Amino acid sequence: MTITKSFRNATEYKKTVSPTFAALFQERLNVSACKIFLALLCCLCGQHAISQICNGSLGDPVVNITFGAGSNPGPALKAGLPNLTFTSNSCPDDGFYTVANSIPGCFGASWHSYNTDHTPNDANGYMMVINASITSGDFYIDTVKGLCGGTTYEFAAWVANVFFRNPGCATTIKPNLEFTIESTTGTVLATYKTGDVPETSSPAWKQYGVFFTTPPTAQNVVLRISNKGPGGCGNDLALDDITFRPCGPNVTINSGMSSTIDQCIINVKPIVIDASLGIGYSNPSTLWQKSEDNGVTWTNIGVGGTNPLQFTYLLSVVGSVRLRVTVAEAGNIGIKECRVASNEITLNVHPEPGRDATSNSPICANSILNLDAGSGSTFLWQGPNGFTST
């Protein structure tokens, strides 16, 4: 698609950035002075201090904002977003945003061209494309509901600076985002500042994030995203995949075993899965789960016996299943928004291989006999006069 447009001046060129939330500081009680120092150091390092933002195990996303999917343009977000107005234009002007599954090289190719959003395997998936307002300030506010009280969560999102280059700009303005998590009464639970989000030589996404702990009885928090940079020539971004995931102690299953276990249907045996759990829960409880669709959905299969960190499982039919254990405080184990999950192991039960060989018989005396056993990985041939071969 080709887009042409005339411009009154260079500041009308705009770019679209895709917000990627950087992973940072987790606030914990009773940590050593050394850990506090390292966490503060990460904060001072800004977006260069991106690393795993949960030092333990994460649960499934309890909130996952992907903006949906469909043809362009997507529908406007809820009314009342501050400092932004919705437009159906694929290349929004200053102070406007759109929801789209792709971004053309807007404003004389001063933006990168994005063919897809960030969400993996999301056909025609939408992202929020933002051309920042001339006036800096909040541009996205939403109330996140259904969390667990007194629980640590990882907030994260993916951001892209869509601006590429514009020779007409004397100075380009970089997006500079601030993410704030507040209680519904206005108490700030966590804040993270990206600093200037730099341009990239090719389309790219980056994740940013921060830890916070909900008040003991709170289930709802307010997410506030602000753009601290002024509008003008630059300060354009894209935002996608905003997630909230519970974070807890590290839980690992079968750390000394292979992540994939293979069995044959004629000799299936129960497998014993052991888990280890780090320090963090005062009264932990476990719930074992399986997935038969490669981890898309999970079904509860029970709790451990006398040892809640051990489970025995038998797959008695041909197929494949993923197995994991989830953990939470005992009173919260039935609430998916409170649980963290272990790594996964895959159990494959294979069908019995065919055992009927074919040959090029009949053949003449002193000719070569060719035998074919079909599929398989190892073979043992036996024949007349003690003949054997592998």
153 φ, ψ (degrees, to nearest 5): -130, 150
At 32 the pLDDT is: 37
At 179 the pLDDT is: 94
SS3 state of residue 149: coil
Q: How far apart are CA 45 and CA 43, in angstroms?
A: 5
Structure tokens at 202: 């090719």
Residue 158: CB atoms within 10 Å: 23
Q: Which fold has domain 10-247?
A: Jelly Rolls (2.60.120)
At 373 the pLDDT is: 82
- Across the beta sheet with 221-227, what order do the strands follow? 137-144, 221-227, 176-183, 188-196
Closest CA to 272 of 320, 310, 305, 318: 310
Pick the CATH number of 251-350 from 3.30.360.10, 2.40.160.210, 3.40.30.10, 2.60.40.10: 2.60.40.10
Q: How far apart are the first and last CA of the chain?
A: 61
At 137 the pLDDT is: 86
Q: How far apart are CA 333 and CA 337, in angstroms?
A: 9
Query: ω before 73 within 30° of 0 (cis)?
Result: yes
Any idea where the domains of the chain sit in the sequence?
10-247, 251-350
Residue 389 vs residues 268, 360, 375, 386: alpha-carbon distances, Å: 27, 18, 17, 10
Question: Tens-of-pLDDT digits for all 390 residues of the chain?
Answer: 333 333 333 333 333 333 333 333 333 333 333 333 333 333 333 333 333 467 788 998 888 999 999 999 999 998 668 889 999 999 999 899 999 999 998 998 899 999 999 999 899 999 999 998 888 888 999 999 989 888 889 999 999 999 988 877 877 888 999 999 999 999 999 999 988 888 899 999 999 989 898 988 888 999 999 988 776 788 899 999 999 999 889 999 976 678 999 999 999 999 999 999 998 888 889 999 999 999 989 999 987 656 788 999 999 999 999 999 999 988 888 888 889 999 999 999 999 877 778 889 999 999 998 888 877 778 888 888 998 988
Q: How far apart are CA 77 and CA 327, in angstroms?
A: 35
